[in-house]
A and B are shown apart, each in its own frame.
Chain A
Amino acid sequence: MPDPVDPCRVSELPLDELVACHECDLLMRKPHLALGEKAQCPRCGYELYAHRYKVVERSLALVIAALLLYIPANFLPIMQLNLLGQASQDTVWSGVLGLFNTGMQGIAVVVFLCSMGIPLLKLLCQLAVLLSIRWNIGRSYGLLIYRIYHHLRDWGMLEVYLMGVLVAIVKLADLAELSLGLGLVCFISLLLVQVWLEVVMSPHQIWQALSGEDIHAGD
């Protein structure tokens, strides 16, 4: 754990030897982390930053995997319902369309953003940032895009959507004949890859690599 700094000497220390907790504003001497370690705030327990291995390569692989899964996850049927000889299919996109066509445009937009729009934008932002680090181009755009990513972060809700699918399955299972589709498998895979990506892509290292403070930050 990092040490809180001695108040009388703090103003003399250069900024790059200090770290402040984002959640409680405690000022500390910056600890040196080995690969795979992480630093937590001693006062409130917030994770200050982590130092992970080969961040850019591993994240790039995961982003590309997630983008490949995105289309089948959203456009292949999640489930199929048979009632009195009629069949109807559900995809993430058809849910949005269904709401939109029944006059609930506001909710359709919210559902679209939380389950499709923002998750896609997040992935595209991550891809742009990683490519900008990897090819060493457009770092200033990279910084801007990474800021946008952090604002979008809370609003992608794939895991909540998956829970919604489960609730809907349970609700419908008694009423009609229900079969699950390939879309559900793709959706779950997309969710898992995305969670893994958020763990791997350690923000502190990305910011450092983007700003060129440390050329080996993403290694």
Chain B
Amino acid sequence: MYKEICAKYAPNKDNLIYILHDIQDTHPQHYVSSEAVHEISEYLTLPENHIYGVLTFYSMYSTTPRGKNIIRLCESPPCYIKGSYNILRKLKTLLGVGVGETTKDGNFTLELCACLGVCGNAPVMMINDDVYGDLSEEKVEDIIDKIRGRN
């Protein structure tokens, strides 16, 4: 599987970030495994340590398995001022996990992230590629319930 993804890109070093994105997005557990790193290293003829260097530098990549839905709550000042800490508390109790952890059913991973650029509607979170703004504790419960129902 990893070979096929790599083959979509020219074997240049500057494609490394895109290959990593692609592999992570394609993996059902949204992470880059050590086997994947090995494959990329062979494909780009780069040492594995270089790939790990890049992989661990950027906050969006994960080297450990994650949930089906990735919740990224904005922890930037505008959201903080509008009470993102209450939202975080709510998410923690709703999901029963801490930051960086995955729910037992493998459905959700809770993460914090830097500014999502929707500060006009703070507090904000992103679940996968969808942005949810003007969050309140009730709204969060609603959103999570809906996603749970979908699966």
**A, B: real partners:** no
Using a CB–CB cutoff of 8 Å, the interface residues on chain B facing chain A are none
Using a CB–CB cutoff of 8 Å, the interface residues on chain A facing chain B are none
